[in-house]
A and B are shown apart, each in its own frame.
Chain A
């Protein structure tokens, strides 16, 4: 029962999605019978299932919802803006109720009450009697069951009597009669009897001899050839006799059955509901799989990738000629491994649709809360991305959407004055670009008020008043911790969570976020994300004899530092001059405790790392070895969290390498030593 219940809630998610889709289609202006029907059916099915599990809150709400939709379906209710709005709210409440029922949390009628009242208003307006007429005059009609039909042979056209006597060679060649008997059962119901007449007493038994035979009665529609096919592989290894029993005719008249097709003219059932749609949509076949199993598969594929890399390295070391078949075979293996890896990652991938649907709710609620008219347009909902990424994207995206509604879009009056439609538009789109998924959030609002942002940043002491910043640099100030331009903290978005938190969340997913804005035209946020969290594009480096991997997404640039670029800043701090800026230089080896700080870093390789607050820091390493994809292996289960270390991987030579979390490492380091790094943004743009 618990299993069916769990599957009910999964099914509910699908139905809620179909409901949202249908409503969106209606909002876009299409409300043909099939769309309304789909919407109705979704609510109806949820109600039906909920009734079976005694989820009363859900049933009673779904009932009102369904009744209103039924009125729409019957044409007694006209679909206006108000009705559609109520339906959207109804879908939101329904989705809350489903979640509450699933998690066993109590239902708060405060949220659903007004919507329920609105639905009842619609029903009242449609003058539909939602209650069923219980006094239905219907007498069940008995059918005369031909109980002989119940016999095993009922459905079959033929009854076969089969005598199967394996020879000793059948066993000797590794065949197993049981498998054959089971295969027979696939053809139809069987009655099997083992004949043990030839079985000698135990002391006379020769274990190498075959003594058993079977009599099988098989009722099957299959022909004799199909039965012989079962025994194809033991042909000559057994005695096989097959007789068809003519005395037992098939009880069910079969000829018409195969010709049975759905009625060509569904109109004949008018009154029974809407006619079948001309092109019934066949849902794509799917399998529900436990996420653990997929993760195990992902993990194993990771192992294959590692193993394959190690194999490649050994082959390399063996010094085989370039045209050796081993090499070319390995090349193909490499290609296959990549394909398998991609395919497995795709299993974890999900369309962003569910995420976007949640956002449309956020837009509805946020715009209602502050009285702005906002319309969300979505695009690329079928774009797929790792399930975990989708889940962890919900919070930052919610925040950004609220910001867009609250700060991005102007009030209706201001929009009218600017010659824009009163209703503000927010565009949310997803697409693939160069191996990553890009999510773009655009509004057609006023754009960023750069003067205001600049003043705010100065007030907060984030930049100096005389700093000269480019437009892009000013826009990026929004990502500084604690930055908020809202004049008054609104109930909606100004909750102390700034864009810096959004940026940190995106970066934790291996993503990047950027901002572009045009005065009067609107603002666009672009989030670029990796397709999967299981592999990482990394740079392999060495420091103090250790090999480490640094995520490529964190590295702005790499360079070899010269003496001329180095500046000492106090006794323990080094800075490097980088295009008219000073960037603090950290010794990665020293920070990780591999060595004591060097006296001179001239000649070191340097990785320039971009930080959350828009500043940069540099890491000194010994050499940069390679750039490659590595499989991420978590460490926290076994070792707990180590500052500066994100995970580990296994390189091609079998060596374990730690994957660095450079941002964490830098914050830890700068927090511990001196505020040099924090000084940098203030120096930005000042003449050096």
Chain B
């Protein structure tokens, strides 16, 4: 079975538009097991019930931002090893450095094309 049939991904973004676009792109890659969450806390709650392989999260979210979510994931025993792909508005060095320190697996700057997203995912989990 190809990876795309097995991988589970959660998309975290406060804008439904962005969630929709990413989900649609994932669907285009043949990834079917996709969940979404509008913010960090609800993403954590969802992952607790439905463990995932990869978290694709926006950086700028109210309450808990993407890096704070990453930190929370890395602090939980069960989620420590989950893949984390950060979507940022722009490739800000400070964000990337902090992400690196916290164990971010990859990042992607907006705007991006589906192919860029695919590349960023495959760089983390291997060929879909």
Q: Are A4 and B93 in contact (CB under 8 A)?
A: no
Beta-carbon contact of A143 and B105 below 8 Å: yes
Query: Could you mark each residue 259-272 of chain A with 1 if its beta carbon is under 8 Å from any beta carbon of chain B, else 0?
Result: 11111001011011
Q: Which B residues, 54 to 105, have Cβ-Cβ distances below 8 Å to chain A? A: 54, 58-65, 67-68, 71-72, 75-79, 81-83, 89-100, 102-105
Interface segment, one of A44-52, A292-300, A401-409, A587-595: A44-52
Verify if A161 is at the interface (C-beta below 8 Å from B): no
User: Quick one: which of B14, B71, B90, B105 contacts A140, CB cutoff 8 A?
Assistant: B105
Q: Knowing A8-B17, A140-B124, A145-B126, say if A262 contacts B67 (CB, 8 Å).
A: no
Say yes or no: A257 contacts B63, CB within 8 Å: no
Is there contact, CB below 8 Å, between B111 and A59? yes
Q: Which of B44, B60, B78 contacts A253 (CB 8 A)?
A: B78
Taken together as a complex, chains A and B put the C-alpha atoms of A260 and B64 apart, in Å, by: 15
Are B72 and A281 in contact, with the CB atoms below 8 A? Answer: no
Q: Is B96 a contact of A149 with CB atoms below 8 Å?
A: no
Which of A147, A262, A266 is within 8 Å of B41, CB to CB? A262
CB distance A136 to B96 under 8 Å? yes
Interface membership of A280, Cβ < 8 A: yes
Residues of A contacting B65 with CB < 8 Å? 272-273
Residues of A within 8 A of B77 (CB): 253, 256
**Nearest-Cβ distance from residue A3 to partner chain B, whole angstroms:** 8
Does B120 reach chain A (CB closer than 8 Å)? yes
Question: Nearest Cβ distance between residue B15 and chain A, in whole angstroms?
Answer: 5
The answer to whether A273 touches B50, judged by C-beta atoms less than 8 angstroms apart, is: no
B9 to chain A, nearest CB (A): 12
Q: A143-B124, A149-B53 are in contact. Are A45 and B15 (CB under 8 A)?
A: yes
Q: Does A1 contact B (CB under 8 A)?
A: yes
Query: B111–A48 contact, CB under 8 A?
Result: yes
Contact B98 A145 (CB under 8 A): no
Interface residues in B, total, Cβ within 8 A: 70
Residue pair A269, B21 in contact (C-beta under 8 Å): no
Distance of B109 from chain A, by nearest CB (Å): 7
A142-B53 in contact given A48-B110, A150-B1, A276-B64 (Cβ < 8 Å): no
Q: How far is the CB of B71 from chain A (nearest CB, A)?
A: 5
Interface contact B102-A269, CB-CB below 8 Å: yes
The reply to whether A257 and B107 form a contact with Cβ atoms under 8 Å apart is no
A252 within 8 A of B: yes
The distance from the CB of B103 to the nearest CB of chain A, in whole angstroms, is 8
Q: Which residues on B sit within 8 Å (CB–CB) of A136?
A: 91, 93, 96
Q: Contact check, A142 vs B125: say whether CB atoms are below 8 A apart.
A: yes
Interface centre among A40, A47, A256, A272 (most CB of B within 10 A): A272
Question: Which residues on the B side are within 8 Å of A140 (C-beta)?
Answer: 105-106, 120, 123-124
Beta-carbon nearest neighbor of A144 in chain B: B81
A133 and B91 contact, Cβ closer than 8 Å, known pairs A143-B81, A272-B68? yes
Instruction: Tell me whether A260 and B18 are in contact (CB under 8 A).
Output: no
CB-based contact B68/A7 at 8 Å:
no
Q: A138 to B107, Cβ gap below 8 A?
A: yes
B67–A272 touching, CB < 8 Å = yes
The answer to whether A132 touches B53, judged by C-beta atoms less than 8 angstroms apart, is no
Task: Flag A458-484 by CB within 8 Å of B: 1 or 0 each.
Answer: 000000000000000000000000000
Task: Name the A residues within 8 Å of B107 (CB-CB).
Answer: 138
**Complex alpha-carbon distance, A154 and B47, angstroms:** 13
- Given A132-B90, A256-B76: A51 and B111 interface contact (C-beta under 8 Å): yes
Within 8 A of A (CB), among B1-36: 1, 3, 5-8, 14-18, 20-21, 24
A491 touches B (CB below 8 Å): no
Task: Determine the chain B residues whose CB is within 8 A of the CB of A357 once the complex forms.
Answer: none
Closest residue to B106 on the A side, CB-wise?
Answer: A140
Chain A contacts with B in 130-177, Cβ cutoff 8 A: 132-134, 136, 138, 140-145, 147, 149-151, 154-155
Determine the distance from Cα of A106 to Cα of B113 in the docked complex, in whole angstroms.
25
Q: Could you name 26 residue pairs across A and B whose Cβ atoms are closer than 8 Å?
A: A3-B20, A8-B15, A45-B14, A47-B110, A48-B60, A136-B96, A142-B105, A142-B126, A143-B105, A143-B125, A149-B53, A155-B49, A221-B49, A253-B78, A257-B78, A257-B79, A260-B47, A260-B72, A263-B68, A263-B72, A269-B67, A271-B94, A272-B99, A272-B102, A273-B65, A281-B62
> Which A residues contact B (CB, under 8 angstroms)?
1, 3-4, 7-8, 11, 38, 40-41, 44-45, 47-49, 51-52, 54, 59, 66, 132-134, 136, 138, 140-145, 147, 149-151, 154-155, 221, 252-263, 266, 268-269, 271-273, 276-277, 280-281
Binding site for A on B (CB under 8 A): 1, 3, 5-8, 14-18, 20-21, 24, 40-41, 44, 47-51, 53-54, 58-65, 67-68, 71-72, 75-79, 81-83, 89-100, 102-107, 109-111, 120, 123-126
Extra 12 A-B pairs, beta carbons < 8 Å, given A260-B48, A260-B79: A8-B15, A44-B89, A47-B89, A48-B18, A140-B105, A143-B53, A143-B125, A154-B51, A155-B49, A256-B77, A262-B44, A266-B71
